Amino acid sequence: MPEQDASNPKEFYPDVPQTDVTFPLKGSNSLDWGMKNRLSNIFDSSSGKTVMLAIDHGYFQGPTTGLERVDINIVPLLPFADTLMVTRGILRSLIPPTFTRGVVLRTSGGPSILKELSNEQIAVDIEDVIRLNASAMAVQVFIGGEHESQSVHNLTRLIDAGQKYGVPVLAVTAVGREMERNARYMRLACRICAELGATYVKTYYVAEGFETVTASCPVPIVIAGGKKLPELEALRMAWRATEEGALGVDMGRNIFQSESPQAMIQAVRQVVHKRERPEHAFDLYRTLTAEQQVSVG
Ligand code: 5RP
């Protein structure tokens, strides 16, 4: 028999209205609880932003510079990443399962850099996404590319699978070499992904009119880092993008190809989460780099 529950007076606070929680992430309040919970593994609840570390490049270009040895060069960066964007192969073989922040799993693939990149298919089953406890699935979308419709179809099929099990989908707008990287193209690509149900969208920063890209996309946008830039320039790009409405970065080469990746990811965090000016964050980068050189030397 359960014990009688009568010794303490109960307090039902009948005069206090229930506190109902709204989910603050842009365009995400109508999502189901599981989706919101997974998104909370990606976007920091204090700043509302994310520093995703992208290391999935190998799925089409093999051992990319800086990613030759993930165990040596990437694992030490994990404490500074809100989320890791990764393939299931690298996740299973090299990422310690004690990493408990968000994992965004690369779920599309097919062609290598030797072939037409837009010819991708879905490359992971939703059951394996759940088995790996991933927080989201990432799929490449090639608007204007040779296999545009196929890549959009990959996106919508993953969205349907994600809806079934509460897994968000990150649509990655892939800009072909022949495409102009301007706000007009980015608006088109991001909006299409959002209209079709992407939970959030990754795109490239453009210097002119990026605020129109974020304003016309009803769900969060994060920016890719793109080709390696001098550190201060990369920090300026992260700062401008977040000033102009991006909710974070999904940065790869500008972190892991930096002279000092650990210093760089910490500097990026200062810009994204603390709104530190890029010049100040660059000072931090230099200080941390110098300290590291002293401790190694
Ligand atoms: C591959 C990707 C990469 O994750 C993306 O390019 C981010 O890395 P980087 O900052 O090096 O551009 O989506 O298509």
State residue 5's pLDDT score: 66
The whole-number average pLDDT for the span 113-132 is: 96
Neighbour count for residue 14 (Cβ, 10 Å) = 6
> Residues 112, 146: contact at Cβ < 8 Å?
no
Cβ-based neighbours of 290, under 8 Å, separated by 6 or more: none
Report which ligand 1 atom has the smallest distance to the Cα of 85: 4
Answer yes or no: is the C-beta of 276 below 6 A from any ligand 1 atom: no
- CA 168 to each of CA 35, 60, 81, 203, 274: distance values in angstroms, whole numbers, following the listed order: 6, 23, 19, 17, 26
Question: What is the percentage of the chain residues whose pLDDT exceeds 90?
Answer: 91
Residue 62 confidence (pLDDT) above 80: yes
Percent of the chain with pLDDT over 70: 97
Closest Cα to atom 2, ligand 1: which residue?
A: 57
Strands 136-141 and 102-106 turn out to be: parallel
What spacing in Å lies between the alpha carbon of 197 and ligand 1's midpoint?
Answer: 21
For ligand 1, say whether the CB of 56 is within 6 Å of any of its atoms.
Answer: yes
Given this model, what pLDDT does residue 89 score? Answer: 98
Give 293's pLDDT tier (boundaries 50, 70, 90).
confident
Which of these ranges, 3-12, 38-47, 69-78, 287-296, has the smallest mean pLDDT?
3-12
Question: Given CA atoms 237, 238, 242, 246 in this order, what sign does their dihedral have?
Answer: positive
Query: What secondary structure does DSSP assign to 198-264, as a single string?
Result: -SEEEE---TTTHHHHHHT-SS-EEEE--S---HHHHHHHHHHHHHTT--EEEESHHHHTSSSHHHH
Predicted pLDDT of residue 1: 64
The rounded Å distance from CA 93 to ligand 1 centre is 20
Residues 6+ apart with CB under 8 A from 91: 84, 103, 105, 132
pLDDT for the residue 33: 97
CA dist 259 and 268 (Å) reads: 14
- Examine the residue annotation and report whether 274 is marked as an active-site residue of this protein: no
Instruction: Look at residue 178 in the predicted model and tell me its pLDDT.
Output: 74
106 ligand 1 Cβ < 6 A = no
Is the shortest distance between the CB of 52 and ligand 1 below 6 Å? no
The pLDDT value given to residue 108 = 96
Q: Of the given ranges (6-10, 119-123, 200-204), which has the lowest mean pLDDT?
A: 6-10
Q: Cα 294 to the chain's mean position, in Å?
A: 33
Tell me the whole-structure pTM to 2 decimals.
Answer: 0.95
33-296 has which fold? TIM Barrel (3.20.20)
pLDDT, residue 157, reads: 98
Mean pLDDT of the chain: 95
Question: 250 CB less than 6 Å from ligand 1?
Answer: yes
Instruction: Choose the catalytic residue: 115, 202, 227, 274.
Output: 202
**Alpha carbon of 8 to ligand 1 centroid (Å):** 58
Q: What is the pLDDT of residue 10?
A: 84
How high is the pLDDT of residue 177?
Answer: 73
Average pLDDT over every residue of 96-105: 98
Mean pLDDT of 240-260: 98
What average pLDDT does this structure show over 23-50? 97
Residue 297 has pLDDT above 90, yes or no: no
Please state which of the ranges 3-7, 80-84, 98-102 shows the lowest mean pLDDT: 3-7
Most confident of 17-21, 71-75, 178-182: 71-75
C-alpha atoms less than 13 angstroms from C-alpha of 156 in its C-beta half-sphere: 9
Determine the Cα–Cα distance for residues 119 and 188; give it in Å rounded to an integer.
20
CB of residue 226 inside a 6 A radius of ligand 1:
yes
How many Cα neighbours within 13 Å face the side chain of 88? 19
SS (H, E, C) 136-152: EEEEEECCCCCCHHHHH
Tokens of 165: 């099990």
pLDDT of residue 2: 63
Q: What does the pLDDT average to over 87-105? A: 98
Residue 296, pLDDT above cutoff 90: no
Structure-token pair, residue 95: 């990422």
As given in the structure block, the two tokens for residue 55 are: 């290391």
Per the CB < 8 A criterion, the answer to whether 55 and 91 are in contact is no
Strands 121-122 and 108-109 turn out to be antiparallel
Nearest Cα to 219, choosing from 265, 178, 173?
Answer: 173
Q: Of all atoms in ligand 1, which is nearest to the CA of residue 174?
A: 14
